[in-house]
Amino acid sequence: MLKDFEERRQMEKRVKAEGRLPPGQSITLKFPVLHYGPVPVYENLDAWDFKITGLVEEPVTLNWAQFTSLPTRNVTYDIHCVTRWSKFDTGWRGVHLQDMLAAGLFKLKPEARYVIQHCEFGFTVNLPLEAMLAENFIFAYEFDDQPLDPEHGYPLRGLMGALAGQHASTDRYLWKGGKWIRGIEFTVEDRAGFWEQAGYSMTANIWNEERFRRGF
């Protein structure tokens, strides 16, 4: 326990000096589990699909084999939870929206401005299109070279992180990537997701500490 405390203290000192620790956050060496509702159980992925709908020229539905055959990226993110923990230098593998578009998987209509992530049990998350296209968002299906644990979003989750040493306008709290994601919908208007309807920020910028919506 003392060793973990000292390691955490030294890491916190380092990331603060590097400008990587957002205001109000503290380091964790663990990976806390936070979500609302049950964890879905998948006996197999034969019935799993991923739907791309809304302001696209034609809707697209992918099965698991098709999704995992898309080009992948290996990325390293700092992740920051709105509940005030931060975990640094985490490794992920998954599919980036830019690569899906570049592969011609679907074509956006010009009026598309926002993206709604649709997840299991009707859970939704909203993000501007520019945030989904940024380098710090990925559809992740591996963490630390292993498939996701069920409580962390297996088989697929949206993953919103921050790139080390950068203070990007698209840096968001971790909840802006939905666990157990099953599709995305492109819209012209911003539409509050599950936590946003409960009073959490529509924008959720980590450097401005945008945790909650004004008026709630």
CATH number at residue 66: 3.90.420.10
- Gap between the Cα atoms of 175 and 32, Å rounded: 13
- Gap between the Cα atoms of 73 and 138, Å rounded: 8
Q: How far apart are the first and last CA of the chain?
A: 39
Residue 74 falls within a domain, yes or no? yes
Residue 212 falls within a domain, yes or no? no
The whole domain housing 114 covers: 42-197
Q: Which helix (H) or strand (E) holds 4?
A: helix 2-17
Residue 7 falls within a domain, yes or no? no
Residue 2 falls within a domain, yes or no? no
Instruction: Please state the pTM of the whole predicted model.
Output: 0.93
Looking at the structure of the chain, the number of domains it has is: 1
pLDDT in tens, 105-158: 999 999 999 999 999 999 999 999 999 999 999 999 999 999 999 999 999 999
Residue 24 falls within a domain, yes or no? no
Return the minimum-mean-pLDDT range out of 32-36, 76-80, 116-120.
32-36
Residue 92 falls within a domain, yes or no? yes
The residue ranking higher by pLDDT, 43 or 210, is 210
